Amino acid sequence: MNTFRLKISTPDGNVFDGQTAKLDLRGVGGELAVMAGHIPFMTAVKPGVCRVMDGDGSVRRGSSDGGLLNVSADGTTLLVGCFTWDE
C-alpha cells in the first residue's frame, strides 16, 4: 500500500510523525479518509475519533478535540488542541 507522511501536532509537541497508508476522521462536512496522492486540501476536523492505518494494515485509534487538517504536497498535518491514543 502506498504511504504518505502524516504529522499529528498538538501544542505539547508532535503526537505522531511518520509514514501512513490511510487516515480516517470526521471533518465538518462528514467522515473522510486521506490516502497517498490526495490533492492539496484543507478542512476543519470535529472532535472525535480518528484512525491511522500503517502500511502493513494495522490501525491505531485516537481521539482529538477537533482542529485543522491540511493536506499538501509536503505531507499531511493534523493540527489539534489535544490528542490521545486509545490504548
Partner 1 sequence: MGLVASSKIRRATEAMVKSREYVASVQSVIERLASSRECMRSPYMQVRSSELSRTRIIVIAGDRGLAGGYNANIFRFTAAYAGAQFIPIGKRACDKFGEGILSAEHCTAADISTLSHRLCAEFASGEFDRLGIISTRYVSMLSQEPFIQWLLPLTKADGVPSSGTILFEPDEIDILNAAVPTYVTGLIVGAVRESFTSEVAARRTAMDSAGKNAAEMIDRLQLQYNRARQGAITQEITEIVAGAGN
- Enumerate binding residues for partner 1 (CB under 8 A): 9-14, 27-29, 32, 39-46, 65-68, 70, 72, 77, 79-82
- Asked whether 32 and 86 are in contact (CB, 8 A), the reply is no
- Residue 78 to residue 83: CA distance in whole angstroms: 10
Q: In whole angstroms, how close is the CB of 17 to partner 1 at the nearest point?
A: 11
**Which residue number, 35 or 82, has a Cβ lying nearer to partner 1?**
82
- Residue 21 to residue 34: CA distance in whole angstroms: 8
Q: In whole angstroms, how close is the CB of 12 to partner 1 at the nearest point?
A: 6
**Which residue number, 27 or 55, has a Cβ lying nearer to partner 1?**
27
Q: Which residues, other chains included, contact 86 with Cβ-Cβ below 8 Å and sequence gap of 6+?
A: 49, 61, 62, 63
Q: In whole angstroms, how close is the CB of 58 to partner 1 at the nearest point?
A: 27
**Which residue number, 11 or 57, has a Cβ lying nearer to partner 1?**
11
- Residue 79 to residue 58: CA distance in whole angstroms: 23
